[in-house]
Structure 1
Amino acid sequence: MSRTRKLALATALSCLALPLALPGAAAAQSASAPAVATEAVPTLGPKPFIGYFKPMPRARLSTTAWGAKEVGPRDPRNGLEDAAMARWNYWDGQILKGDDGKYRMFASRWDQALGHKAWGQSLGVTAISDTLYGPYRDLGLVWPDNQGGLGHNVTALKMHDGRYAVVVSETRGGDVFVSDSIDGPWTQLGTISLDQSRFQLVKTPGDVALRDTPTATPAKPANFSVMLRSDGAYQIVPRSGQILISRTGILGPYTVMGDSVYRGLDGIPQRDMRAFEDPVVWYSGGWHHIVVNQWRERRAYHLISRDGITGWRVQGLAYEPGADFIRYANGARNHWNKLERPGVVIENGHVVAMTFAVVDTPKDDQTGDNGHGSKIIVVPFDGAAMDRDLAGL
């Protein structure tokens, strides 16, 4: 092994320092504990993606905020949450900056009293903050008069023509809402359509896409991550990890360019492909990027490609709940049970923060009105340094 590879591996391992588990907590969760990946993830460049997370902003940390003790002292003003865990669970959480300098978060929420499994009743909401890291104030439903505000897997972007778009999948069929203003009002532009002349859209990376069968039944839209490409096209990466390209606008039709880019990729475990979900796609530093989560093993991977369609490579470990990457200057660490629905905040061409929907206990333990739930956190990220490091690959 070359000295460079040894250094990269050592850096990757240093990012995975795991906290000591409390015996009582381990015993309590042993029956439902998910599989944990232990194999090393290859690293391209001097360090993996997880090594570029920065310390959380200085804040007064609370030891009485809702949540499991394993989470640790935390800042309840970071991101978006129901501070009393009395009404809402929050999910998703794409952030856009308005022309007024304030930040809007596009998220979903549902009644916490119904437990986590009620996520299918999510409603799309928007929230606002004077600062990137929060606190965000819930402004209410984004489209209250359209199916009662129904929306999950909510994401948002600014389109080529200057309008804003919010895209919803999972509980809706890829519906797109648009507005001239970041604050609405929002109207439904239409629903995303597909061109399956090359490949079928499938549900998960573990499902094999049919080729040259345009009449094949496509999978239900889910986990759509949408980006505006520099060549004028729109690109979607769904749960399946396939690449969808539209050169005729945000509604498509989107050509399904191939099978899942995770299939057969060195550095991506191939044993449980149906457990990959929640991709986020973006462009920075001359690379197209995907971060994708393997929910059963609770580990996420960072992939890069020059054209965003072919030639994908694993750059390194993106994150995992047991690693000490959500950290504060005073030495405190946060370890949420799950980190899902990642999003990126890009400023001046580089990622400056990532958002996560987090839960403090296993989802099955969140039955409602028991002091446990979900919120959205915002974690600083040094995307400028990462882009410099990866420029010469």
Structure 2
Amino acid sequence: MQDLNLQALLPDKFDKRGILEEEHYNVWGTNILKGRDGKYHAIYSRWPKSRGHMAWVTHSEIAHSVSDHLAGPYRFQNLVLPPRGKPYWDGDCTHNPHVVEHEGKYYLYHMGNHGSGFWDDTPETRMPGFEEDQWWVNRNNQRVGLAVAEDLNGPWERSDAPLIDIQPGRLITSTPTATRRPDGKFLLVYKYVEDNGEPRGGRVIHVTALGDSPTGPFTDTGVPFITHPTALFAIDDHVEVVVDGKYYCIAKDCYQSWGDYPAGTTVLFESDATGMDWKPAKHFMVLEAGELYWTDGSTTLCERTADMPKVYTEDGVPKALIIAVLPKDSEISFAVILPLQANA
């Protein structure tokens, strides 16, 4: 069994034909699965460009596009989890989808939240941000949810209650990923923010939970996910994949906690088949933050180089890495599908 080396599998320069974008929407956090119809289905977050990047927490919704080819182009198909109103825990925002196929069904883990109604009466050009008290209302109502469908084209059955709610000491729950372990159990990883009485909260902590089925119930294991001896925010924007019986986690090093490279660099961790004992992988570097180089000779300076990574696999073999990009001095984001080289 060879150790996974994603950096070696990535091309030196990226093809712009792999960009997934929408005319009027920011695009983020993109899953790609091959459907029973033989087409490639992208399920991702989107929100209006006019609202700016930080509206991911106030105006995001989960959408669905389709292509005949893995790298695109993708055509918008429909909304998967649109806003459904204040009575619901996810009534205003759905974000950070993570889709798992199991025994003929699809399980869409996601973040959802609701606000106070403040944003409903603001112009479409009003950009939410940290300085807005109401931004934090949406942020602090984040919870982990689950929707289920028998086909990637839908319909999706949404839950009327969060899959993972808060508990004493936890301000939010968010950013879920789920994988089926080799032993058949389902490993759920999510994060929470410590409740210290302030709107921002305290440390960001990632935890693990186990369930016997993709719908749970999930019980916290008490085992932290990936920790660092000095960092308050060890990783973010993670995704796990099992390759040849070994767990790998692709994640963002937000604050240069793990090495001397630019903040936001994408790195790789590994674990045994339990997904409980993580360490930096042999081939730790995946994609250095700062700049993307394209096959047409152009470059893109990035504020966010490779956020919310996802992996497209076939028969357990990684075939593409999908990343979210926010260019420098821009409010407009997009996804890029990066096919992996088979013989690297």
TM-score by length of 2: 0.74
For residues 112 and 342 of structure 2, what CA distance do their matches in structure 1 show? 29
Which residue number in structure 2 is paired with residue 153 of structure 1?
A: 96
User: Secondary structure, in 3 states, of the residue corresponding to 2:275?
Assistant: coil
Q: Distance in 1 between matches of 2:276 and 2:96?
A: 26
Residues 325-376 of structure 1, C-alpha deviations (whole Å, 9 max, x = no match): x553x766555331201000011211110111111125xx52xxxxxx1011
Is 1:288 aligned to 2:247, yes or no?
Answer: yes
Q: Distance in 2 between matches of 1:219 and 1:284?
A: 34
Give the CA deviation at 1:145: 6.8
Give, in whole Å, the separation in 2 of the partners of 1:342 and 1:109.
15
Partner of 2:217: 252
Indicate which of 119, 134, 146 corresponds to 2:56: 119
1:378 to 337, 341, 344: 337
Instruction: Summarize the alignment of residues 180-329 of structure 1 with structure 2, pairs less than 5 Å apart.
Output: 180-189=150-159, 191-193=162-164, 216-239=168-191, 240-264=205-229, 270=230, 272-274=231-233, 276-296=235-255, 297-315=263-281, 316-322=284-290, 327-328=294-295
Instruction: Please list, as runs of the form range in 1=range in 2, the aligned pairs for 1:350-389 lying within 5 A after superposition.
Output: 350-362=317-329, 365-366=330-331, 373-382=332-341
Within 2, Cα distance between the matches of 1:186 and 1:352? 26
One-letter code aligned to 1:97: K
Instruction: Provide the residue aligned with 1:369 in structure 2.
Output: none
1:131 maps onto 2:38 in alignment: no
Q: Could you tell which deviates more after superposition, 245-254 or 276-285?
A: 245-254
Q: Indicate whether 1:79 and 2:16 are aligned.
A: no
Q: Distance in 1 between matches of 2:335 and 2:251?
A: 17
Q: Which amino acid aligns with 1:104?
A: H
Question: Aligned to 2:109, which of 155, 167, 170?
Answer: 167
User: In the alignment, is residue 94 of structure 1 matched against residue 65 of structure 2?
Assistant: no
Matched residues, number:
285
Taking the aligned partners of 2:303 and 2:83, their CA distance within structure 1 comes to 35
Unaligned stretches of 5+ in structure 2?
Answer: 86-90, 114-141, 192-204, 256-262
- One-letter amino acid of the structure 1 residue matched with residue 211 of structure 2: S
CA distance in structure 2 between the partners assigned to 1:170 and 1:275 by the alignment: 23
Distance apart, 1:140 and its partner CA: 2.6
Q: 1:219 to 1:236 in 2, by over 3 A?
A: farther
Q: CA deviation at 1:183?
A: 0.5
Q: 1:135, 1:377 → 2: CA distance?
A: 11
Cα pair 1:344 1:353 within 8 Å, conserved: yes
TM-score, length of structure 1 as denominator length: 0.65
SS of aligned partner of 1:242? strand
Is contact 1:79–1:136 with CA below 8 Å preserved after alignment? no
Q: Secondary structure at the match of 1:99?
A: coil
Which entry has the higher C-alpha Rg, 1 or 2? 1
Per the alignment, residue 259 of structure 2 pairs with none
2:79 to 141, 165, 168: 141
> Who is 2:126 aligned against?
none
Considering fraction of residues, name the structure with more strand: 2
1:107 correspondence with 2:44: yes
Does the C-alpha gap of structure 1 residues 115 and 278 become closer, same or farther in structure 2, counting only changes over 3 Å? same
Distance 1:56-1:250 versus aligned 2 partners, 3 A rule: farther
Matched to 2:219, the amino acid is Y
Unaligned 5+ residue runs, structure 1? 1-44, 60-74, 195-200, 202-214, 265-269, 367-372, 386-393
How far, CA to CA, are the matches of 1:360 and 1:188 in structure 2? Answer: 33
Mapped partners of 1:224, 1:244: distance in 2: 11
Give yes or no for contact 1:245–1:257 (8 Å, CA) kept in 2.
Answer: no
